[in-house]
Amino acid sequence: MRKWSHYMAIVISAKKKMKSDTIVAISTPRGVGGIAVIRLSGPQAKDLALRFLSVDTLLPRHSQYSCFSSDGELVDEVLAVYFPAPHSYTGEEMVELSCHGSLYVQQAILQALLDGGARLADPGEYTLRAFLGGKLNLSQAEAVADLIDSATPVQHRLAVSQLRGGYAQKLKMLRQQLVDLTSLLELELDFSQEDVEFADRTQLRDTLADLAGEVMRLIGSFSLGNALKRGIPVAIVGRPNAGKSSLLNALLDDDRALVSNIPGTTRDTIEEILIIDGLTFRFIDTAGLRHSDDSIEAMGVERSRRAVADADVVLYVHDATCPWQTPEIDLSEKQVIYVNNKGDLGITASLPTPSVDISAKTGVGLSQLRAMLTELYRSRIDGSNTLLSNERHYEALLRVQEALDAAARGVDGGVPADLVAVDLRDALYHLGTITGQVSSDELLGNIFGRFCIGK
């Protein structure tokens, strides 16, 4: 395990590197629009902006009308807003210029500021500076990217919850408890010759169990949180010609999948995204489940089985004109909705629950099916205060759990305090990688490289 001082040195080095730089970037999406925003951040932001503006000074947090000129030529009329340090997004001196959305105007202003001494910002550098300046912890910085990417109310809620720090507060509390435990064990090492125990072993074991329980609850919420963030995978399965592709087309209100009365038409999985009542679902149409001597169809059936394994929900489609048969695949560990298709023919079947009668042809029953899908998640979302949705955090918490388990085994086995302390320090290290108490150039690069330039 690397020493904490190593990671602090990396952060200090990054701060020094950025301390003298003033960066600039266009923060709005590339293209022609009514307004574009160009953002300056760094120690020379105000002075640099004033070199091109027609005003004598910039008042803090005031929107000021000005002309932006370069080489004596008027480029555009702009609105300038000045944010003095540390009261800005990055914690540095910042100026935001709102100009007209002409591509020429945007590039002319950007080039003038670059020629004046600013440096083009790297992807995510504004948020990186906010992190290094203590304006955001690492998990909150990642939530900024999630907030930008959010496309539904639920994804927005997840990102805002993480950005506002509720999740970070829980991690902070866990970390403080670990620090307290580790400190007591480290203190024992200083008095090892006196054979003094500062940490009562029974209480230590109980505290470790409580910590492990909290970590496990967060880990357990990842399946739901990640599905809500990336889209809930729903596999549409059943026997050939049950109406799986017709159901996908009906849900999408589009002829996305090829439909034929010839069994085995679908040979590969087809995936489409649909937002229902604010929730994003990823519907995967699959090949009909049956034994086939056709090697291509057999490959499709195997992909169907993999789709079921990866899905959160399975829609098992049954043809109402055929007798009910037990599914050809084990669905006991899955959330399943049994769909009795071709209900427009007036034929019902006794299916396992929960089930719904529909007609992919006429649309009968589709609204009930959509309601059943959303209901599977709505109550779980409303009942969860904190949902883990970040895969990097999930992997780190798994390492935390392993370290806590090792520490608990050590306490139960009566191992020396210094060995238990090693496991606790390992847990602290992995917890710190989530919030940024521990960081590295590679880690920061991976995280902030996700951002667009200008954020």
Give the chain's domains with CATH numbers: 16-137 (3.30.1360.120), 147-221+388-435 (1.20.120.430), 233-382 (3.40.50.300)
Terminal C-alpha separation, the chain = 33
d(CA 5, CA 293): 62
**DSSP reduced 3-state for 28:** coil
Closest CA to 283 of 239, 241, 314, 319: 314
The per-residue pLDDT for 450 is 53
Cα 375 to the center of its chain, rounded Å: 23
In this predicted structure, what is the pLDDT of residue 10? Answer: 46
pLDDT score, position 69: 96
Q: Is the pTM higher than 0.95?
A: no
CA separation (Å) from 419 to 210, 403, 414, 432?
20, 11, 10, 20
Would you give per-residue pLDDT tens digits along the chain (455 residues)?
344 344 444 455 555 555 679 999 999 988 888 999 999 999 999 999 999 999 999 999 999 999 999 999 999 999 999 999 999 999 999 999 999 999 999 999 999 999 999 999 988 888 888 888 888 777 777 777 777 777 777 777 777 776 666 677 788 888 888 887 777 776 666 555 555 454 567 777 888 888 898 899 888 888 888 888 888 899 888 888 788 888 888 888 766 544 445 444 444 567 888 888 888 898 888 866 655 555 565 566 667 778 788 888 999 988 888 888 888 788 888 889 999 988 767 666 778 888 888 888 888 889 999 999 988 887 777 656 677 778 888 898 999 999 999 988 888 888 777 788 888 888 888 888 887 765 445 445 554 555 566 55
Around 241, how many Cα atoms within 13 Å sit in the side-chain half-sphere?
Answer: 8
Q: Are 306 and 271 in contact (CB under 8 A)?
A: no
**Cα Rg, the chain, nearest whole Å:** 29
Let me know if 358 is exposed, middle or buried by CB neighbors in 10 A (0-12, 13-18, 19+): buried
CA-wise closest residue to 320 among 237, 263, 243: 243
Task: Write the DSSP symbol of residue 307.
Answer: H
Structure tokens at 33: 């629009």
Helix and strand numbers (H, E) in the chain are: 15, 12
Tell me which DSSP letter residue 1 carries: -
In this prediction, residue 322 carries a pLDDT of 84
